[in-house]
Structure 1
Amino acid sequence: YNKLQELYSNLDIVINNAGILRDKSFGKLSQKDWDLVHAVHLRGSFIVTKAAWPYFQQQKYGRIIMTTSPAGIYGNFGQTNYGSAKLGLVGLSNTLAVEGAKYNIKCNSIAPVAASRLTEDIFPENFMDYFKPSYVAPLVVWLSHESCPETGGVYETAGGYIGKYRWQRSNGKVFAPPNTLTPEAVRDYWPQITDMNKANSFNSFQEHTLSLVNTIKEISEENNIGEVSTTSVTNSYTIDDTILYALSVGLSTREPKHLNFLYECNDEYSVIPSFGAVIGLKAFSESNVLHDALKAHNISGDMTKLIHGEQYLELVKPIPSFATLTSVPKIIDVLDKGSGALLIIGIETFDENQSLVFYNQMSLFMVGSGNFGGKRMSNDTNIKPIVSAPNRQPDAIVSEKTSIDQAAIYRLCGDKNPLHIDPMFASAGGFSSPILHGLCTMGFAMRHVLREFAGYDVKNFRAIKARFVGPVTPGQTIETQMWREGNRIYFQSFIKETGKQVISGAYVDLIEVQVRNHNTENNFQNSKNDNDFILSSSLASNINDITIDELAKDCLKENTENVIRYVCAPYGGNDGQSGGGDGQSSRIDKIFGGWLSVRINDHKELVPIIKTVY
């Protein structure tokens, strides 16, 4: 890399074309000739590309060409060293294409057949004119061009011909149950295992893996071997699972009331209501209802293009801290939206006494699976619609920064889709980095509503509905805007740093509303060091008409258990300047509330009058 910096001020393209031959049959091949060929072809390409990689990452642009060979793709007598190195280059190229996607680095392989010193003894002399290197150059130029969209491909070129390779896998045979898989069974079913009439081709490792899982389920169904019941799914969870979920949606010991969800010995220990959505999603994923719906409507579905569009959750009673629950997923309706198939799934969840605990409803959209001849609209009145927020200023706004590890923690609750943890998988899905689970974002927003309008009392929660309209990147700040209309709290959520909306058409229905008395904007932040003050306030209706002493009396009534520190700025005169005095009788111009951590040194405009109340 340092040498490249000395030689070039700019670097856009790397073409790995160096090669040698040491052809011998495998029995006569020496280790020296094996290592030498690999050192030039495979290791040489690695070293050159490794040196250029930081250039490409920094400038967010790069084009890489690897030179493979049909001898690596098909094998060729006397070329075990050469063929293995050349096929190794294909693997190197494909992986660099995945890792380089987010940096606009594209990498492809060519398998040329061209006249050169390496091939002059192979082709008849009259064929040499057909395999001039100049006939390979146009393909290389195109793959190196900034407008070429291709990456991760393998292309053959020779004598004016250009073609693309692809891997294929047969439909195969699933032996179910697995104990029926024996050497004799493999022999007997060999024609089916190797039948390429229904071969599949994949564009990524993730697409291949998901297809394999679907194939196993589909063929198991065809053989009348259901892995799980389509009528019910039973799951058990412990109190530790509910605490892990609470941590995964941002609850923290920084706020005392959060201990109601984090400490099992707390007298008021409760389970965050949105935990019910986790149970519902798990039951759905372990059932066959999606497969049954796709099969019944003759829909060709690609699981890599399945999007969780909307979520509804209704609690009949508070979720127990530990339990064995039985869920019954069923298809409510399947709609043909042209651009895709919309599936609405309902999931009832019962306790061990067969009493209904909660109900989930999910809307899933399968992109590219439309036009199957289904109806476009549903008349089912059980489908929960989204709503529009009131056309006025929000009654409350809460901003909360997510942890960089938020998705890594949330996935431990059961949704281990690599999209939320694996940078390469996220890149293949079109994201610059792993994204937060939609249900995790909903969990944050639901907490904000409970905090502002329910006093964190889960017995006040009835239902939540939300539409997911954009992803959150772990580390970003979720801002939830809320409006109260009776016992319904309308809300929508945004990424504060970008202004992009992530939840729309949403509401929480409460049994009883307990309005938190404070400013409309609150912020949760981690304390930077021991010199920071944790601030909390219970604000009066007219904040400019309350004195420090009055504030202290008010706090004594509502906060007898905790030490509460206030940072206030004296109320200014008519000229807007801060007043003087000792501050004890000064009017309050500004109070920072909502367990906000603020460094005093970051707020020079404040007069640091600190009142400690016991």
Structure 2
Amino acid sequence: MSAPLRFDGKVVLVTGAGNGLGREYALAFAERGASVVVNDLGGNFKGEGKSSRAADIVVEEIRAKGGKAVANYDSVEEGEKLVRTALENFGRIDVVVNNAGILRDRSFARISDQDWDLIHKVHLRGSFQVTRAAWPHMKKNNYGRIIMVASAAGIYGNFGQANYSAAKLGLLGLGNTLAIEGKKSNIFCNTIAPIAGSRMTETVMPPDLVEALKPEYVSPLVLYLCHESCEENGSLFELGAGWIGKLRWERTKGSVCREPGKKMTPEDVRDNWDKITDFRNSTHPTSTTESSAEMFNILKNLENQKPSRSSPSSGGMDIEAAKAHQAPPTEFSYTERDVILYALGIGSSTKEEDYLKFLFEGAGDFCVIPSFAVIPAFSSQTGMMVGGMPGFQIDLTKVLHGEQYTELYKPLPPRATLTSRSRVVDILDKGSGAVLIVNVETFDEKNEKVAFNQFSTFVVGAGKFGGKRNSDEAKPTANPPKRPPDASISEKTGIDQAALYRLSGDRNPLHIDPSFAAMGGFSQPILHGLCSFGYATRHVLRQYCNNDVSKFKAIKVRFSKPVLPGQTIQTDMWKEGSRVFFQCKVVENGSTSLSGSYIDLHEGGAPTKSLSSGSLQTDALFNDMAQRASSQPELAKKINAIFLFEITKDKKIAAKWTADMKTGGGAFMKGILKLKGNMMLAQKLGELLKPAPAGSTQTSKSSSGGSSLLSDALFEDMAKRAKSQPNVAKKINAVFLFDITKDGKPAAKWTADMKTGGGVYKGEPKQGKADCTLTIDDKNMVDMASGKLNGQTAFMKGLLKLKGNMMLAQKLGSLFGETSKL
């Protein structure tokens, strides 16, 4: 018969040893010569209360039999105190049995935070704290035995014990890792899942079953696993009622569900399900090495099956295959709402002087900020990367947007359905990663190319494959001139800027979720690089283009450092020829967020038609208004304002007329007449269109001769009326500017100066600024003056656009004929 297993000279710490299994372990170790630390907080099985009585009774029982034992009443969360008790009383620590535990059973829907946290604090965190405190002493002694106590509930799950199950299975993972790390120091760790009658199980088991499952049927395995002669390590055992069984993992042979060069789909999984779940010829991996070995074999086999369509790099990357890949085209539809949302996302504000053109769909000059062209392209290239491509597999958690180039071939319309086609043009080897260069061409409904984008994406860890470092395909960056910037614009971003910008398509959680930002190494969510890209576009447009989007040609940027929402972006600009070099800095810390950047502009575009060319139909109208103002000087006194009329044609300003009368029912949607300044002065202009008093001389013939604008005659008549009726100017007392358009383009400008006595004349105000500016189509101007178009209705429907003092527009009736409904 073999010698009995003794523990003489060994020091054993048993947690939760005041009752049940823990008590049995403590008594058994002491009986076989071990010095035992009996730990028990003295609470009930729910973890409530505290008492020294439970531990003291066990210690007294051990000592009564001649054994060595001391009590400890600390919580296992204070592991250092438990181990210190062993060291102070016995000088060492050899064995730890992590037995302490409580129950707080609830169905999953009823588990409270406290129910969850207490279970994990005692079972998982407590075992961690005690074992960690003992670990350095075991390593020093080159000896240690550790027992983790799991449960069948942790292995298999059990109704009403989600908190308990999670903690118990966590102990298995902890124990397996300690077995690996401790092996070289002769520290072995095993996990048991016992079933025995105890304070905890007596609440869920009938009395006769509790009696049959005595703790003494469990302790023998624990003692054997903790003996110095036992070399079992990293194992899991189920036991109870004298039965002991060892558990292991079992894995099916499985099935490879993809083919080289093809996208793996859910249908591939479905079609291989029987093989995936077939346990015939199964394996039993015991380590991560064994677990991953099969994966590496599969990858190797797939690589060997890869079609030899080109010469892959030494790193297994097939650049030619990636470049030859034809990604399916993507369709992107947007409306004015998306355009406005994007403008807000890149900082457009109602505080800006001409904000309506970017933020109000009813504005006559409503337009799309050019950098919006990156949005449909971003959707396309992201879809290609997510969908996968042959020759280059991308881990989307390791991609960084490095550079961006965007070129517009014509301004984007406020709403459209665009089609984008993406393709890889090169992959560069930068050592620490690879740079994927993707070109995206975007077409409108007529299949006309409207934009080109190039995305340079850095893929961390994908380098060192033997590829080239540079490419002729890449759009180059450019450094600014070595002189102080010609202009600078600083603008503070909103604290919610990233949250707003992401609604335009880039919903990477890095920009909204602090936990994702932390994984990326950031203290808080960062602003999208393409948001700063948009800010820079706005700044250059404002500084050098007077916000005329038609002057924008292309932009190139390099994303250098992140911007945090709420920080201030400073755009420094240098203009040389048609190129504006720029860089963006974060004012708060001085870091450069965009570098090597520039915007190319269209210079010397189609010239605006001469305002005196006489090609606008409204010229006759303004000539008539001029004659009317001249023949009726009382009109100036009545109106008493200066009006500037900006006449548009084909949505561009074609002429400006000034009416100087000072110095001598529907929805407001798409507009044709705009008022700027004191808009209420526009109401006075009707005076200039009223018929002249009997006997006065009037003509509707254009004084400019050969005019193609209907409104010319109207303004000429207004001029006569203002001159002949000076009381009209006094009544109006404002300056109006009429911007006349034709076919949506500027066609003429007329001023009605009813303030300084200047009368009605073609062009902008000669003195001061217009109190009220009206932008209106040539034909609509005539219809309004003739009474065919009601001014109030036109304004509400957007057929009148006013800028300035809108109320002045009510006075304009004095300048028009009696049929005018201004």
**TM more than 0.5:** yes
Measure, in 2, the Cα distance between the counterparts of 1:319 and 1:247: 17
Which of 375, 396, 406 pairs up with 2:497? Answer: 406
Deviations 1:567-613 (A, max 9, x none): xxxxxxxxxxxxxxxxxxxxxxxxxxxxxxxxxxxxxxxxxxxxxxx
Q: CA deviation at 1:425?
A: 1.0
Q: CA deviation at 1:86?
A: 5.4
Q: Structure 2 regions of 5+ residues with no counterpart?
A: 1-76, 83-97, 124-131, 135-145, 174-187, 193-197, 199-214, 237-248, 289-302, 308-324, 606-764, 774-822
The verdict on how the C-alpha distance between 1:32 and 1:235 changes in structure 2, with shifts beyond 3 A counting, is: closer
Measure, in 1, the Cα distance between the counterparts of 2:106 and 2:439: 65
For the pair 1:375 / 2:468, whether they are aligned, the reply is yes
The verdict on how the C-alpha distance between 1:375 and 1:86 changes in structure 2, with shifts beyond 3 A counting, is: same
Q: CA deviation at 1:190?
A: 2.8
User: Secondary structure of 2:384's match?
Assistant: coil
The verdict on how the C-alpha distance between 1:513 and 1:405 changes in structure 2, with shifts beyond 3 A counting, is: farther
Contact 1:464 1:508 in 2 (8 A): yes
Which of 227, 232, 242 pairs up with 2:339? Answer: 242
Q: How do 1:325-344 residues align onto structure 2 when only pairs under 5 Å count?
A: 325-344=418-437
The verdict on how the C-alpha distance between 1:236 and 1:76 changes in structure 2, with shifts beyond 3 A counting, is: closer
Contact 1:245 1:410 in 2 (8 A): yes
Which of 424, 442, 451 pairs up with 1:358? Answer: 451
For the pair 1:43 / 2:117, whether they are aligned, the reply is yes
User: Secondary structure of 1:256's match?
Assistant: coil
Structure 2 counterpart of 1:259: 356
For the pair 1:465 / 2:534, whether they are aligned, the reply is no
Q: How do 1:156-305 residues align onto structure 2 when only pairs under 5 Å count?
A: 173=257, 186-191=273-278, 230-287=327-384, 291-292=388-389, 295-296=390-391, 299=392, 301-305=394-398
Structure 2 counterpart of 1:102: none
Greater C-alpha radius of gyration: 2
Q: CA deviation at 1:318?
A: 0.2
Measure, in 2, the Cα distance between the counterparts of 1:193 and 1:421: 47
Q: CA deviation at 1:251?
A: 0.5
The verdict on how the C-alpha distance between 1:22 and 1:500 changes in structure 2, with shifts beyond 3 A counting, is: closer
Contact 2:153 2:168 in 1 (8 A): no
Deviations 1:434-473 (A, max 9, x none): 1111101110111111111110110010110000001111
Structure 2 counterpart of 1:60: none
User: Secondary structure of 1:465's match?
Assistant: strand
Count of residues paired in the alignment: 417
Structure 1 counterpart of 2:624: none
User: Secondary structure of 1:123's match?
Assistant: helix
Which AA in structure 2 matches 1:85?
Y
Q: CA deviation at 1:186?
A: 2.8
Deviations 1:255-297 (A, max 9, x none): 13121011011000000000001111111112359832xx32x
The verdict on how the C-alpha distance between 1:323 and 1:41 changes in structure 2, with shifts beyond 3 A counting, is: closer
Which of 441, 453, 463 pairs up with 1:348? Answer: 441
Which of 200, 221, 224 pairs up with 1:123? Answer: 221
Moved more, 228-237 or 420-429: 228-237
Measure, in 1, the Cα distance between the counterparts of 2:286 and 2:504: 36
For the pair 1:85 / 2:151, whether they are aligned, the reply is no
Structure 2 counterpart of 1:138: none
Contact 1:332 1:345 in 2 (8 A): yes
Which AA in structure 2 matches 1:332?
V
Measure, in 1, the Cα distance between the counterparts of 2:342 and 2:512: 17
Q: How do 1:468-479 residues align onto structure 2 when only pairs under 5 Å count?
A: 468-479=559-570
Q: CA deviation at 1:83?
A: 8.7
Deviations 1:158-187 (A, max 9, x none): xxxxxxxx9x998874897657876x8633
User: Secondary structure of 1:241's match?
Assistant: helix
Structure 2 counterpart of 1:318: 411
Q: CA deviation at 1:330?
A: 1.3
Q: How do 1:132-147 residues align onto structure 2 when only pairs under 5 Å count?
A: none
Which of 472, 475, 498 pairs up with 2:589? Answer: 498
For the pair 1:452 / 2:543, whether they are aligned, the reply is yes
Contact 2:336 2:361 in 1 (8 A): yes
The verdict on how the C-alpha distance between 1:371 and 1:477 changes in structure 2, with shifts beyond 3 A counting, is: same
The verdict on how the C-alpha distance between 1:321 and 1:337 changes in structure 2, with shifts beyond 3 A counting, is: same
Q: CA deviation at 1:245?
A: 0.6
Q: CA deviation at 1:501?
A: 1.0
User: Secondary structure of 1:274's match?
Assistant: helix
Measure, in 2, the Cα distance between the counterparts of 1:33 and 1:248: 45
Contact 2:578 2:601 in 1 (8 A): yes
RMSD of aligned alpha carbons: 5.4
User: Secondary structure of 2:378's match?
Assistant: helix
The verdict on how the C-alpha distance between 1:557 and 1:310 changes in structure 2, with shifts beyond 3 A counting, is: farther
Contact 2:99 2:148 in 1 (8 A): no
Measure, in 2, the Cα distance between the counterparts of 1:194 and 1:447: 65
Measure, in 2, the Cα distance between the counterparts of 1:453 and 1:193: 73
Which of 468, 474, 479 pairs up with 1:388? Answer: 479
Q: Structure 1 regions of 5+ residues with no counterpart?
A: 1-12, 24-29, 50-62, 95-110, 133-154, 158-165, 202-217, 223-227, 515-553, 563-614
The verdict on how the C-alpha distance between 1:197 and 1:329 changes in structure 2, with shifts beyond 3 A counting, is: farther
% of aligned pairs identical? 39
